[in-house]
Amino acid sequence: MKVLFIGDVFGKPGRQAVSELLPLLINKYGPFEAIIANGENAAGGKGITKPIVKEFWELGISVITTGNHVWAQREIFGFIDNELGLLRPANYPPDTPGQGWVIINTRSEMKLCVINIAGQIFLDNFSNPFRCLDEILKEVSDQTEHIILDFHAEATSEKVAMGWYADGRVSAVIGTHTHIQTADDRILHQGTAYITDVGMTGPYDSVIGTNKKEVLYRFTTMLPVRYKVAQEEVALCGVALDLDDQSGNAKSIERIQVPL
Catalytic amino acids?
Answer: 69
Q: Report yes or no: 226 and 218 within 8 Å, Cβ to Cβ.
A: no
Q: Give the DSSP letter string of 2-53.
A: EEEEE-EE-HHHHHHHHHHHHHHHHHHH---SEEEEE-TTTTTTS---HHHH
Beta bridge partners of 6: 37, 238
Tell me which amino acid residue 176 is: T
- Give the DSSP H or E segment for 103: strand 101-105
Q: Give the DSSP letter string of 189-218.
A: TTS-EEES---EEEESSSBTTB-HHHHHHH
Indicate the pairing of strand 200-203 with strand 8-9: parallel
